[in-house]
Structure 1
Amino acid sequence: MSVYRVYFKWKGKEISLSAKELDLTHPYFVSIKDLVFDNSSKLIINPSEDEIRKTFQKSKHLMIPFQAVILIEELKNDEKNHVVPFNLIEDSMKQKK
């Protein structure tokens, strides 16, 4: 069984959600069902992931406009995301100047 990761813009932020079901048959929306969240207990909590979980965890079905969708990935069920994005302190200092 595949898991789909959908990247989209929402409230000015880029969000990624994983789901078991994806439907592209609606003319203007991407339909996402059976959202998948990493429920493993962690010592360090990523605030952005925690905000996404709190916002969408109770949702059964999402309809995202095609214009907001950036990328859709199909992953094997056993694949894990091993890359964690982070900002270097040097980069954030350059942006402030």
Structure 2
Amino acid sequence: MSIYRVHFTWKSKEVSLKARSLDLTHPYFVSIKDLILPENSSLIINPAEDEFREEFSEANHIMLPFQSVSLIEEIPEDTVGGSKTLNFVKKKEEGTER
């Protein structure tokens, strides 16, 4: 069985989430079901992850506009292991060098 990792923009942040089911048949949305959210087990609190987890923790199905999705990866479930990740990446502003 595969796991899908979907990279998208949410509240001006680049977000990556994992799900067990993905449906691309809707003409305007990516339908994501059976979300795999990270467990809140670390002592370090990431406010962005907490906000996302709080917003979607009870949802088992979300629909994202195609325009907000930048990449969809299909990953074999056995390579994912027990890690459940949700990564937030700051967008690099134009004109700044890093």
Amino acid at match of 1:15: V
1:23 aligns with 2:26: no
1:34 aligns with 2:34: yes
Deviations 1:36-84 (A, max 9, x none): 01226212232222221111111121111111111111122232479x7
Deviations 1:16-42 (A, max 9, x none): 221100001111110000000122621
1:86 CA displacement? 8.0
Identity, in percent, stands at: 56
Question: 1: CA distance between counterparts of 2:50 and 2:71?
Answer: 21
Contact 2:38–2:84 (CA<8 Å) still a contact in 1?
Answer: no
Pick the structure with greater CA Rg: 1
TM-score by length of 1: 0.74
Judging changes above 3 Å, is the alpha-carbon distance between structure 1 residues 46 and 61 closer, same or farther for their aligned structure 2 residues? Answer: same
Amino acid at match of 1:69: V
Q: Which of 1 and 2 has higher RCO (CA within 8 Å, sep 6+)?
A: 2
Question: 1: CA distance between counterparts of 2:84 and 2:46?
Answer: 14
- How many equivalent residue pairs? 87
